[in-house]
Structure 1
Amino acid sequence: MRLEIKGAGAYAYTGGKTFDPALPCIVLIHGAQNDHSVWALQSRYLAHHGYAVLAVDLPGHGRSSGPALSSVEAMADWILAILAAAGVERALLAGHSMGSLVALEASRRAPGTVAGLALLGTTYPMKVADALLETARLDEGSAIDMVNIWSHSSIAHKPSCPGPGFSVMGGARRLMQRMSARNPQQLFYTDFAACNSYANGEAAADALRCPTLFVFGKKDVMTPPRSTKLLTGAIEHGKIVNVDAGHQMMAEAPDAVLDALAGFAASIPFQRIQETP
């Protein structure tokens, strides 16, 4: 699905179904140096089971025009603009890693629009090591290799991979390299710097009232579960699901992530609540 946001082309994958804004809507927001394809299994299943799906490519990523946005706040505004352009009044926002901060900030800016929030591989503050930021600025290829290794639970892949010879780690690495080739303007550095500088997470968490799901990877070393106590403590009503995966949980534990998202979506009241005059 192609849209136009402030004169620039924007793309959202709809899971192989024609988008219908009258259906309950789920927005899937990818992380740094990624695109909509990281949600391949989840987006198709949800779209074929009663939901309108928008698996977006953030500006400068995948099929959406650049440049990449340099702050989480700007990305949150862009997500809200996507919803308006698609004719969606209320949606469940699901974000992974950087995308989780974008979803959280969007809920702070437009609480009436966000029916529910699913935060995958999240933490706050989402600080990035100075050494990684510097490597991203000077040698993006090496930074991609570093993060790709850290984002997976093991180098040896598991029997649950989709087919013989399929490499979860290799696929993730090639996706990040493809993002660099399509947008050579230091995309990796821009994304990770945005995560590092985001400062509204605690205020957004304190204000959050909608149903919330946390999905954590038990073996995640990028955003380890022990680092999430500020968010989970501030959002005490949030449900926590732990999956047997590293940071790239949608690829390493796709069925477990899908089960968590589908179960959560089924519990969400998507209708806008009428305020009493």
Structure 2
Amino acid sequence: MAILPRFTSLGHGHTVIMVHDADGGHLSFAPSVESLASQGYRAVAVDLPGYGYTPPIEPYNIQALANSVLALIDALQVKKVTLVGHGMGAMVALEAVMRDASLIKRLVLCAGGPPLDEESINAWTRPRLDALDEALSMPQIAERIVSMQTGQKAIPEGLRLVRHAMGEVHPLIYRHALQAMNDYQRNAAALAQVQVPTLLIGGAQDVCMPPEALQAMTHILPDAVSLTLPGIGHWPQLEAPEDFDGLVMDFLARGRSVH
């Protein structure tokens, strides 16, 4: 049985569920929650199992995390939602769609989504796992990773929130999450079955999921478009929140007539 994740919710209207990366819990979407709610959406930011006050799961993998998100959609008793996933959360969101597309109206994949190839794993999860192996504290890991993987145009307050959110993650859960990303596998044939309208958003300076990797997904997903934010790294929703939220709301507005 899937664990029902804890979440924060604000606003009324079409439900937009935001799923965070391995690097932090629901606070990773704090600016987006306020922005979306102010524009007439019900903004929901989850804490995946092991994050915040949501109990952990065993085994810890992308499939089980996706089941938790689907359980939340069912518990919210809404017909269809938009899923927004960042990093690992983009993998979770994509997996959720592949498991039950009937619940998902639109999909936003930010700085992630497809399974990682060896090069991506080395750029994305290896520096984080190495830091854990060095027995650094989570705030120390946050300081190191943020200095390596953010863009030159990132706003300072966004970077502070990235560090804070990452510093709150339990190191054991962090290791489990990173390993889940490494282990996740889905072939192109499976991804090609995703018929949900999809927006891919990335940072031009993201070394974890570079623009060309997201652009390649548009050749696999039948109804996808990829947009890149210049001067931004791995956390577009925090490095450039106004630009990110604007792209998301433009995308949502195309299908807003049905809640």
Q: What interval of TM-score do these two structures reach, taking the shorter chain for normalisation?
A: 0.7 to 0.9
Deviations 1:220-259 (A, max 9, x none): 1111112234422102431222112111111111111000
What is the TM-score normalised by the length of structure 1? Answer: 0.80
> Structure 1 residues 41 and 173 mapped into 2: Cα distance closer, same or farther (>3 Å)?
closer
Q: More helix per residue: 1 or 2?
A: 2
Find the residue that maps to 1:66 and give its secondary structure. Answer: coil
Find the residue that maps to 1:176 and give its secondary structure. Answer: helix
Task: Please point out which of 237, 240, 244 is paired with 1:250.
Answer: 237
Q: Does 1:12 align with 2:7?
A: yes
Of 84-93 and 102-111, the range deviating more from structure 2: 84-93
Tell whether the 8 Å contact from 1:214 to 1:240 is kept in structure 2 after alignment: yes
- Once the 2 structures are TM-superposed, how far is the Cα of residue 144 of structure 1 from its aligned partner? 3.8
Matched with 1:128 is 121
What is the alpha-carbon distance in structure 1 between the residues aligned to residue 191 and residue 21 of structure 2?
A: 19
Structure 1 portions without partners, runs of 5+:
273-277
Tell whether the 8 Å contact from 1:30 to 1:57 is kept in structure 2 after alignment: yes
Off by >4 Å, runs of 4+ in structure 1: 269-272
What is the alpha-carbon distance in structure 1 between the residues aligned to residue 77 and residue 164 of structure 2?
A: 34
Identity %: 24
What is the TM-score normalised by the length of structure 2? Answer: 0.86
> Structure 1 residues 146 and 123 mapped into 2: Cα distance closer, same or farther (>3 Å)?
farther
Deviations 1:189-210 (A, max 9, x none): 1111111111026344210111
Tell whether the 8 Å contact from 2:202 to 2:214 is kept in structure 1 after alignment: no
Find the residue that maps to 1:235 and give its secondary structure. Answer: coil
> Structure 1 residues 140 and 109 mapped into 2: Cα distance closer, same or farther (>3 Å)?
farther
Q: If you compute each CA radius of gyration, which structure gives the higher value, 1 or 2?
A: 1
What is the alpha-carbon distance in structure 1 between the residues aligned to residue 101 and residue 161 of structure 2?
A: 36
Find the residue that maps to 1:189 and give its secondary structure. Answer: helix
- Once the 2 structures are TM-superposed, how far is the Cα of residue 147 of structure 1 from its aligned partner? 2.5
- Once the 2 structures are TM-superposed, how far is the Cα of residue 41 of structure 1 from its aligned partner? 1.7
What is the alpha-carbon distance in structure 1 between the residues aligned to residue 228 and residue 52 of structure 2?
A: 29
Count of aligned pairs between the two proteins: 250
Task: Please point out which of 151, 154, 176 is paired with 1:153.
Answer: 151
Task: Please point out which of 152, 163, 173 is paired with 1:187.
Answer: 173
Of 241-250 and 144-153, the range deviating more from structure 2: 144-153
What is the alpha-carbon distance in structure 1 between the residues aligned to residue 177 and residue 238 of structure 2?
A: 20
Q: Does 1:96 align with 2:92?
A: no
Tell whether the 8 Å contact from 1:115 to 1:269 is kept in structure 2 after alignment: no
Deviations 1:52-75 (A, max 9, x none): 221111111123233586211111
